[in-house]
Amino acid sequence: MLEKVDEIKQQIEAFQTENPEELEAFRIKYLGSKGLIKGLFADFKNVPNDQKKEFGQRLNELKNFAQEKHDALKATATKAQSKANAPDDLTRPGEPLPVGSRHPISLVRDEIIDIFSRIGYSVEEGPEVEDDWHNFTALNFPEEHPARDMQDTFFVNSENGENLALRTHTSSVQVRIMESQELPIRIIAPGRVYRNEAISARAHCFFHQVEGLYIDKNVSFADLKQTLLFFVKEMFGEKAKIRLRPSYFPFTEPSAEMDVSCTICNSKGCNVCKYTGWLEIMGCGMVDPNVLENCGIDSKVYSGFAFGMGVERIAQLKFQVNDLRLYSENDVRFLDQFKAVF
Ligand code: DAH
């Protein structure tokens, strides 16, 4: 009997494989419930009593030996298997994944936010459906001002008879902030605005603006000019110039429109700047004392400036896009071109 144990032990010792099927056959043959070792255990009763002790020990050793051998072979087999499954060339480039791109309007809006954040402006938002007070009245629009006209403004039917409209500009956010925030105020308000216009290459019924507002003691027009110059140089490069032309807005006094030197032709004159070398990108001015008072701010103590710029217009200059409609058509051939920008 003991010889049988030795014989099996030698067989087990000699066995080698990396093949999982052969290994399983080994397990069944030696360790299975009908295997050789189980068989020897069954023979135990036939062993003479004086040999039972030694036989038992040897049998247990054999069983452990077989189990250890099996486990060791299994570990190398699994390793060999995972090596075999690995791709042939680990340095081969991966499959390309189709990735989207950011919309040019978002890219430009985020860059504007970034530039003003660097000089201490925080970002605010207001509702797109706005009431008459915030969009017009508090901003010093006279009752009969043409901007309130049906031709410019999309009015919204309200259940309680309140005068609501889709905001025609982000200046409405100025009012909300002046009414609710502590002084001094230094904010920008990006957002979508709506006007009742026929859609063409140069006009759309919705577009995007970024409003800016700075209110403190002793704020002057020189501060406004320097802030805008800083912005333009950050946005269009060191060489860019600005020009302020006197203008009129009900909510600022004095008011101006700001032109930037045409980046497309380097101010030499082209069809985008209509051969003037300049392009208008925003309106601005000193906040009218009436507006400050409408929002509960003492205009004898505080002054401030405001500005409002068109995001599409800036995007047009940066990316040389000459048709406003492209921004809302979602044509992938157009959008794809902004993948590598910024
Ligand atoms: N709200 C004006 C518009 O939509 C732009 C504007 C002009 C905003 C002058 C201002 C400002 O804050 O001071 O055309």
**Closest residue (by CA) to atom 8 of ligand 1?**
308
Centre of ligand 1 to C-alpha 269, Å, is 27
The full 3-state SS of 154-209, as one line of letters, equals CEECCCCCCCEEECCCCHHHHHHHHHHCCCCEEEEEEEEEECCCCCCCCCCCEEEE
The pLDDT assigned to 235 comes to 96
Q: What is the DSSP letter of 92?
A: S
- Distance from C-alpha of 334 to C-alpha of 313, rounded to nearest angstrom: 17
Specify the ligand 1 atom closest to the Cα of 213.
12
**Closest residue (by CA) to atom 12 of ligand 1?**
307
CA distances from 45 to 37, 100, 168 (A): 14, 76, 101
Indicate whether residue 136 lines ligand 1 (CB < 6 A).
Answer: no
Question: Is the pLDDT confidence value at 153 over 80?
Answer: yes
- Distance from C-alpha of 121 to C-alpha of 188, rounded to nearest angstrom: 6
What kind of fold does domain 104-338 have according to CATH? BirA Bifunctional Protein; domain 2 (3.30.930)
CA distances from 84 to 20, 80, 87 (A): 13, 6, 8
Q: How confident is the model at residue 150 (pLDDT cuts 50, 70, 90)?
A: low
Centre of ligand 1 to C-alpha 260, Å, is 16
Rg, Å, the chain Cα set? 40
**Closest residue (by CA) to atom 4 of ligand 1?**
169
Indicate whether residue 249 lines ligand 1 (CB < 6 A).
Answer: yes
- Distance from C-alpha of 249 to C-alpha of 283, rounded to nearest angstrom: 8
Centre of ligand 1 to C-alpha 123, Å, is 17
Above pLDDT 70, what percent of the chain?
Answer: 99
pLDDT in tens, 116-131: 999 999 999 999 999 9
- Distance from C-alpha of 269 to C-alpha of 278, rounded to nearest angstrom: 8
Specify the ligand 1 atom closest to the Cα of 212.
12
- Distance from C-alpha of 38 to C-alpha of 238, rounded to nearest angstrom: 88
- Distance from C-alpha of 243 to C-alpha of 308, rounded to nearest angstrom: 15
Centre of ligand 1 to C-alpha 209, Å, is 9
Going by C-alpha positions, the residue among 303, 300, 305, 302 that lies closest to residue 286 is 305
- Least confident segment among 6-20, 51-65, 82-96: 82-96
Residue listed under structure tokens 């040897």: 58
Indicate whether residue 287 lines ligand 1 (CB < 6 A).
Answer: no
- Distance from C-alpha of 231 to C-alpha of 167, rounded to nearest angstrom: 25
CA distances from 313 to 17, 132, 204, 278 (A): 73, 27, 12, 13
Indicate whether residue 171 lines ligand 1 (CB < 6 A).
Answer: yes
Indicate whether residue 306 lines ligand 1 (CB < 6 A).
Answer: yes
Q: Which residue(s) pair with 188 in the sheet? A: 123, 212
Choose which residue among 210, 244, 249 to substitute to test ligand 1 binding: the one with the highest number of ligand atoms within 8 A of its C-beta. Answer: 249
Residue listed under structure tokens 């209509």: 274
Centre of ligand 1 to C-alpha 264, Å, is 25
Q: What residue spans define the domains of the chain?
A: 2-84, 104-338
**Is the Cβ–Cβ distance between 46 and 59 less than 8 Å?**
no
Helix H or strand E encompassing 86? none
How many other β-carbons are positioned within 10 Å of the β-carbon of residue 123?
Answer: 13
Indicate whether residue 261 lines ligand 1 (CB < 6 A).
Answer: no
Indicate whether residue 267 lines ligand 1 (CB < 6 A).
Answer: no
Upstream peptide bond of 87 is cis (omega within 30 degrees of 0): no
**Is the Cβ–Cβ distance between 274 and 308 less than 8 Å?**
no
Q: What is the DSSP letter of 267?
A: T
The encoded tokens of residue 139 equal: 């901003």
Q: How confident is the model at residue 342 (pLDDT cuts 50, 70, 90)?
A: very low
Most confident by average pLDDT, 95-99, 219-223, 262-266, 274-278: 219-223
pLDDT in tens, 226-276: 999 999 999 999 999 999 999 999 999 999 999 999 988 889 988 878 899
Burial of 97: CB neighbours in 10 Å, binned 0-12, 13-18, 19+: exposed
Specify the ligand 1 atom closest to the Cα of 193.
4
**Is the Cβ–Cβ distance between 285 and 252 less than 8 Å?**
yes
Question: Is the pLDDT confidence value at 83 over 90?
Answer: no
Centre of ligand 1 to C-alpha 134, Å, is 14
Indicate whether residue 305 lines ligand 1 (CB < 6 A).
Answer: no
Question: Is the pLDDT confidence value at 69 over 80?
Answer: yes
Q: What's the pTM?
A: 0.73
Question: Is the pLDDT confidence value at 288 over 80?
Answer: yes
